[in-house]
Amino acid sequence: MGNIVANFFISLDGVVESPDQWHFPYFNDEMGAAVGAGVQRATGFLMGRKLYDEWSAYWTTTDQDQDFAAFINNADKYVVSNTLEKADWNNTTVLSGDVAAARLREIKEQTDGALQMSGSATTVRWLLANGLLDELNLLVHPIVVGHGQRLFEDTPTHKLKLVTSETFKTGVLNLSYVPDAG
């Protein structure tokens, strides 16, 4: 049985929006290795509508990072969305409506490995609410952004348990959590 793993670049004040505006000064080989390890564990990718729109437009046309482009373009992709009617990106399945959670449970059971997510805060909140998130990885950057979407806004309480932690030379914390039923 597979698992669902969400990954975020996040600021100290919980902002996950537009990391391209504040994340790159902290990127180093340690972070690259952590991100790369997550990608290597991936047997598929899970995303929300916004990320699907951004990634499908970018990764199908870019001449940057051709290794990852080839990987993501050929990987199985699942989009949780009630507004996306059709997905043209290769190997993409749309999960929508009242059956989305049940369908995603079936996909997890049939998957050997990790369904990885990068971003999609709304989708992560939905996964937690439906008991579908298995792991939450946060790369906490030592910066207060002060504005933008936060990972958790107006959500119910979800207990999490820290399972690994590491501090990079840049001051970024690499934290991994799992849901804590206790």
57-93 tens-digit pLDDT: 999 998 888 888 888 999 999 999 999 988 999 999 9
Residues in a beta bridge with 45: 77, 116
Structural domain boundaries of the chain?
Answer: 3-179
pLDDT in tens, 12-44: 999 999 998 999 999 999 999 999 888 888 889
* Band of residue 56 on the pLDDT scale cut at 50, 70, 90: very high
Fold of 3-179: Dihydrofolate Reductase, subunit A (3.40.430)
Express as a percent the part of the chain with pLDDT over 70: 99
Report the pLDDT averaged over residues 155-162.
Answer: 92
Q: Encoding tokens for residue 138?
A: 């946060």
pLDDT tens digit string along 88-112? 999 999 999 889 999 999 999 998 8
Six-digit token string for 98? 């009242």
- Helices first, then strands: H and E counts in the chain: 5, 8
